[in-house]
Structure 1
Amino acid sequence: MSKVETLFELPKKMKAVVDYAPGDFRLEEVDVPEIGPGEVLLKVGGCGICAGDIKTFHGAKRIWGGDGQPAYIRPPVVPGHEFYGQVVALGEGASEKYGLSLGDWAVSEQIVPCGQCRFCKRGEYWMCQVHYIYGFFRGEADGAFAEYVRLPKNALNWKLPEDFPLEAAAYVEPLACAIHAVERADIQLEDVVVIAGLGALGLGMLQVARIKNPKLLIGIDIKEKRLELAQKLGADLVLNPAREDVVAKVKELTDGYGCDVYIHASGHPKGVIQGLDMIRKLGRYVEFSVFSEPTTVDWSIIGDVKEIDIRGAHLSPYTYPTAIRLLKEGTVKADEIITHEFPLDEFKKAMEVAEKGEDAIRVVLKP
C-alpha cells in the first residue's frame, strides 16, 4: 500500500451532490475519496456554480447527447469544477510534484489531461482528446459540490499564496478562462473592443481587456446591475440591447466600420448574430460560450462579406498563475462578482438563484 500523509484523521463519509440524470441532482452521504500515489485530497472551501452546471441540470444535448451528439457526461457524478480547498491528504510523491504541503490552500485546473494523446504530447493539454473535466466523469474526475474532492495524478494543481484572499479563490477558474479568451482576441491599443455577456466570465474578460488598454472598451448585457458593475470595473461604455440598437450604436462610434474585436460570453444565439453584424471587416471574433441550442447564421458574412477571423476559446491553458497573481494583487476584483454563498444543503436554492441571475453573478457553494 502506498503512503498517504494526512492533516488530520479523515472521516469515512461526506456530504456530496450527485448528478444522476437531467433534473436529478441529489444531496447524499457518500464515501470520502481515497487517494493514491501522486494524488491530492482537498477539503473543499467553496465551489462556484457555472452556467455549464445549470445546462447540465436541464439536460443540454451538448452534455447529455442527442441530435447526433455523443454524451459527454458519465453519471452518477459529483458536479463542480470552479473550486478551491485545503490540502488534507497527499499521496506518495504528490508533495514534490506540485510543491504542496499539508494545510496549503490550492486550486486545480478544470481539466485532468490524459498526458498521452496527440494534443497532450504537443503541450496542447486543454484540448486533450480524452478530456476529463471535474464534475462530468464518475471516478476519473468527480467534482467539488462536496466536502472533499480528489485531485487525480494527472491533475494540474496550483498552490495559493499565503496572503491570497480566499474569498476570491472560487473566481480563479473563471478568471483563468477569461484571460485565455482575451489573449485569443489579440487586442491592440487602437482597437474598439466589445464584450457581450457580462456574467462572471464576461466581467473577468472586461477587467483583463482593460489591462490591454484598447481605445474603447464596451460591455453589452440586458441586466442593468451587470452594466453598472461593468462601468465600475473599467468599461468605457455599456449598452443594453433590450433598450437600444447596439449594432447601430457601435457602428456610429466607429465611423460606420464596426468594432475591431468582439468577444461573446453570453451563450445566447442572438449574441452570435449581433456580433457578426457589429464587427468590422477583417475583425476578430472570439467565441467563449456553451450553447444549449444550435445557432444559425449567414456564413457568407464570415467569408465573402467581411473575412472575419473566428477564434474559439476553450478553458484556461497556462493562465492559472496569471489569474492567481491578478487576484492577489487586486488588479482584478472579484468581491462584487461573487454575489451569493450557500451551504451545500441548500444547493437547489443556490442553483435557482444562479440560473435566474437577477441579483446573482457568481454563486458559490460552501460545504
Structure 2
Amino acid sequence: MESVCVTLSGTRKFETMSRELRIEDDEILVKTTQASICDADLRAWLGMHMPNDLPSFSFIGHEGGGEVVAIGKKVREFKVGDKVMAFGPLNTFSNYFKGTVDQCFKVPDGLDVEVACLGEPTCVGIYGVFHSGVQLGDVVLVAGLNFQGLIAVQGLKKRGANKVIAVDYSDAHLELAKKCGADVILNSRSHAVYEEIAELTKGRGVDVSLHSCGYWNPLTEDYFNMCIEVTRDEGIVTSLPDIMSPIKANLHRLHHHAMEIRFNALMHHGAEFLKRWVPRLMRPVVQGDIDIKSLITASYSMSEVDEAMKKFNEDEDQVKILLKP
C-alpha cells in the first residue's frame, strides 16, 4: 500500500512523501482516521535536544488511530474493519500507517472516534491519576495544565481529592481547569503561588502534587520544584511528562522531608503491562467520567501540518491539536 506521509526533515521543516508500506506477518495496516500533536513532536520540530534512547522522530506521529485494512498472516488479534488506537512511533502523520499487534489497541465499543484516536495520550493522563497516590480528602496541586494535566484535574477530583489547586501560565488553560473541576486556579505569572498555597493549606502543604509540565516547556524546572516545595512532609510528588533535558531539582527537600517521588511513564513499560492497563484506563472515558472532547482546541487537515505545528508553538492557549487526512 502506498502511503502519503509527513516526515520531519530538519528543524521546523516538514516534507510530504510517498512510501510503500508492506506489512510483516505480525503487523496490521491501518487507514488513518485522525492523528494529533504531542508535546514531544513539538520538541523534535523545534530542533531541541532529543535523548539518544528515543526512536527517531523522522517519520513523525505516535498518537492517532484508524481502521484496519489489511493484516499479516500471523495476526489473530485484529480483523479487517476493526477500529484501532495507535500506541507507538508509527508515523500516524500519514494517510496509512502500520504497526505490530503490540502497538495497537481496539477502540472500545461505542466510543466516539475523535476521542478514541486520542487513546494514547489519554491513557498516559489517566494512569497518572491511578498512580498518584491520592486518597479521599486530600488537597492536591496540579502544576501544568496541558492535555494530561487537565485530565488529572478531572480524575483527581473524582478519585476523592477534597481540593484541587490548578496552576498554569495560560488563563485559557486555567478556565478549562475550572470547568474540569478545579477548586482553585492560580496563574503563576500573576499570583504568589507558594504563598497562596501555604495560606490555603494553613502552612501544611498539599498532600499530593502532580507535575505536568515537560518536553519543550521552559517552565519545566520551575514547576517541578514548585511541586517539591509546596508538598507536605511525607507527601507524594508525581510527575507525568518526560523531562528530556537535565534540570536542577531540590532533592534535599525530597529526602529530608521523607517525601515520595513517582514517575508514571506508562508508555515505557512492556507490552504485557499495556495489555493489562489500556482497557482499564479507557474505561473512565467510555463511562463518561473523564471529558476529553473539551480538551481539543484546534483541528487541521494533514496537509496543513506546518500551520498546525506553528499554532501549537506560538499559541500558549492550545491544548490538543488534531490532524485529519
- TM-score, shorter chain, exceeding 0.5: yes
- Report the alpha carbon displacement of residue 51 of structure 1 after superposing the two structures with TM: 0.4
> How much does 1:58 deviate?
1.8
TM-superposed CA distance for 1:71, in Å, is 5.6
Look up the SS of the partner of 2:198 in the other structure. helix
- Where do 5+ consecutive residues of structure 2 fail to align? 215-219, 268-273
Residue 211 of structure 1 corresponds to 158
Letter in 2 for 1:101: K
Residue in structure 2 matched with residue 279 of structure 1 by the alignment? 231
Aligned to 2:283: 325
Secondary structure in 1 matching 2:136 = coil
Residue of structure 2 equivalent to 1:79: 60
Q: CA deviation at 1:311?
A: 0.9
In structure 1, the gaps of 5 or more residues are 1-11, 64-69, 111-133, 135-141
User: Which of structures 1 and 2 has the bigger CA Rg?
Assistant: 1
Taking only the aligned residue pairs, the percentage that are identical comes to: 26
Structure 2 CA distance for aligned equivalents of residues 21 and 250 of structure 1: 43
- For 2:137 and 2:317, the matched residues in 1 are separated by 34
Is contact 2:151-2:290 (8 Å) kept? yes
What residue in structure 2 maps to residue 128 of structure 1? none
After superposition, give the CA deviation of every residue in 1:292-340 in whole Å (9 maximum; x if it has no partner).
5421123211112x12111111135443213432222221111121121
Q: How does 1:201-280 map onto structure 2 within 5 Å?
A: 201-267=148-214, 268-280=220-232
Question: How many Å separate the matches in 1 of 2:244 and 2:53?
Answer: 14
* Structure 2 match to 1:108: 86
Matches for 1:1-367 after TM superposition, within 5 Å: 12-31=1-20, 33-63=21-51, 70=52, 72-74=54-56, 77-94=58-75, 96=76, 98=77, 100-110=78-88, 134=89, 142-153=90-101, 155-267=102-214, 268-291=220-243, 293-304=245-256, 306-316=257-267, 317=274, 318-367=276-325
C-alpha separation between the residues in 2 aligned to 1:331 and 1:71?
Answer: 35
Q: Deviations over 1:87-146 (max 9, x none)?
A: 11111232x2x2x22112111323xxxxxxxxxxxxxxxxxxxxxxx1xxxxxxx42110
For 1:343 and 1:71, how far apart are their aligned partners in 2?
Answer: 31
How much does 1:198 deviate?
A: 0.8
1:58-82: CA deviations, max 9, x gaps?
A: 223233xxxxxx363436x311111
Write the letter of the residue equivalent to 1:166.
V
Superposed CA deviations along residues 198-230 of structure 1, whole A, max 9, x for unmatched, are: 111111112221220211111111111111111
Report the TM-score, using the length of structure 2 for normalisation: 0.90
Q: Calculate the TM-score normalised by the size of structure 1.
A: 0.81
Q: Secondary structure at the match of 2:118?
A: helix
Structure 1: how far apart are the matches of 2:302 and 2:104?
A: 24
Taking only aligned residues, the RMSD between alpha carbons, in angstroms, comes to 1.8
Aligned partner letter, 1:145 = F
Counterpart code for 1:45: T
Are residues 277 and 228 of structure 1, via their aligned partners in 2, closer, same or farther at CA, if it must alter by over 3 Å? same
Deviations 1:133-182 (A, max 9, x none): x1xxxxxxx421101111125x2432113421112123211110012212
Farther-moved stretch of structure 1 (200-209 vs 315-324): 315-324
Distance in 2 between the 1:227 and 1:74 partners? 34
Native 8 Å contact 1:78 1:146 kept in 2: no
User: Quick check: 1:164–1:328 contact (8 Å CA) kept in 2?
Assistant: yes
The answer to whether the 8 Å contact 2:8/2:14 transfers is yes
In the comparison of the two structures, how many residue pairs are matched? Answer: 313
